[in-house]
Structure 1
Amino acid sequence: MKLNVLIVVILLMTSCGKNNKTAEVFKEATEKVVENEINNLDTELEVYDYAGFETFLNKKDNKVYVINFWATWCAPCVKELPYFEKLNSEYKNKNVEVILVSLDFPHLYDKKLKPFIKDKKLSSKVIALDDVDMNTWIPKVDESWSGSIPATIIYKNDNRKFYEQSFTYEELEKEVKKFL
């Protein structure tokens, strides 16, 4: 709604005030607001500290959860993201949910993470984990986790398995099928 109003304002300003300096300044400012609105469409990002995120690790609803820890600066993570996207696409109707947990730096959410999500057209649920006390929450995710990424948890109710590795699609699908 806000975007539509701004577009109408721009159209009015461009048609009525071409020789008016104030109208030009207003037009430029309004265009920047519209550009920002367009850039922020569909890039809402849920951000959690560990306490808020922990609920994603403990759902007991007979659904298979595939939770991948990754970051835009991690080349192996980025390389395997298409496999998680394919899994999400092919298994979402089979009671499987893929959650991509970004460990990107909070000051880069707007400049790097959100544009990455938009550019790659990620359709899986993407959340950001912003909790600086990694030494506390990493062993809570899994006692064997060194903290390296990519890392993935696949679980259904109380049955869970942790993987500190990269996946091919075939490997990922094989592991998920064990939970179906």
Structure 2
Amino acid sequence: MKRIELVISGGILILLTQPLWGGDASVMLERIGKLVVGQPLPAKMLTYDLDLNFFDFAEYAAQKDATHFLISFFAVWCEPCVKEIHQLKADQARLRRHGVEVILVSVPIQKDGRPERKAQVVTRKFLKEHRISFYTLLDKNSNLARGMFGVLQNSLPKSFLIRKDGRVEAIFDQAGNDFIDQIVAHAEGGR
């Protein structure tokens, strides 16, 4: 007799007759929404860039010389997010020297938690006003943030340092003054 597993991820009910990777279904429950250091990214992240092109991490990483990718979740109204993005912008050359490429992920929610209906326009305007040129993804329904990365509105900004092979190297909550130093140390394997 087959076991049927019900899993809720990002508000989507998934019905499984077998775990996706052939292991115990309880392990899958732990993995969804709780990306941890050493764990690989999901094969498909199901999100798009600002031009509405599908984003495939493995394909993107293969085209870049970087050894690590900092995936940084932000909201346009979030002051700590803006501060973190400006830190990344100011130290962009240093990060690149150490093999780190920055990818921003706009989480289109308003301060009160309601979805931002004009997310693409609002994000583009924010990037233009702040002169930010990082490759930016749009997490239109917050499925990526909530469902795969476990990022909630009150935990922004949150960044994940991902190795080129797709494994999580480090997770950063709300950048401090030594944020860039921490990224570089992890990218160099010093911590």
In structure 2, the CA distance between the partners of 1:169 and 1:131, relative to structure 1 (3 Å rule), is same
Please report the TM-score for the alignment, with normalisation by the length of structure 2.
0.54
Larger helix proportion of the pair: 1
Instruction: Give the aligned partner of residue 157 of structure 2.
Output: 150
2:69 to 62, 65, 68: 65
Shift of residue 106, structure 1, vs aligned partner = 4.5
RMSD over aligned CA atoms reads 3.1
In structure 2, the CA distance between the partners of 1:146 and 1:107, relative to structure 1 (3 Å rule), is closer
2:97 paired with 1:90: no
Q: Following superposition of structure 1 onto structure 2, how do residues 7-156 of structure 1 map, counting pairs within 5 Å?
A: 45-47=50-52, 52-53=54-55, 55=57, 59=61, 63-104=67-108, 105-110=116-121, 112-132=122-142, 134=143, 138-142=146-150, 145-146=151-152, 148-156=155-163
- Is the contact between residue 154 and residue 176 of structure 1 (CA under 8 Å) also seen in structure 2? no
In the alignment, the residues of structure 2 paired with residue 46 and residue 161 of structure 1 have an alpha-carbon distance, to the nearest angstrom, of: 28
In structure 2, the CA distance between the partners of 1:92 and 1:127, relative to structure 1 (3 Å rule), is same
SS at match of 2:91: helix
CA-to-partner distance for each residue in 1:53-79, whole Å, 9 max, x for gaps? 4636x9578711111000101121112
- Is the contact between residue 53 and residue 129 of structure 1 (CA under 8 Å) also seen in structure 2? no
Shift of residue 169, structure 1, vs aligned partner = 4.6
Query: Structure 1 counterpart of 2:146, which letter?
Result: I
Taking every aligned residue pair, what percent have the same amino acid on both sides?
20
- Is the contact between residue 107 and residue 145 of structure 2 (CA under 8 Å) also seen in structure 1? no
Query: Structure 2 counterpart of 1:168, which letter?
Result: G
SS at match of 1:127: strand
Unpaired runs of 5+ in structure 2?
Answer: 1-48, 109-115
- Is the contact between residue 106 and residue 130 of structure 1 (CA under 8 Å) also seen in structure 2? no
In structure 2, the CA distance between the partners of 1:146 and 1:102, relative to structure 1 (3 Å rule), is closer
Unpaired runs of 5+ in structure 1?
Answer: 1-43
In structure 2, the CA distance between the partners of 1:53 and 1:93, relative to structure 1 (3 Å rule), is same
Instruction: Give the aligned partner of residue 185 of structure 2.
Output: 177
In the alignment, the residues of structure 2 paired with residue 68 and residue 99 of structure 1 have an alpha-carbon distance, to the nearest angstrom, of: 6
In the alignment, the residues of structure 2 paired with residue 169 and residue 47 of structure 1 have an alpha-carbon distance, to the nearest angstrom, of: 34
SS at match of 1:178: helix
Instruction: Give the aligned partner of residue 33 of structure 1.
Output: none
- Is the contact between residue 139 and residue 145 of structure 2 (CA under 8 Å) also seen in structure 1? no
SS at match of 2:118: helix
In structure 2, the CA distance between the partners of 1:155 and 1:139, relative to structure 1 (3 Å rule), is same
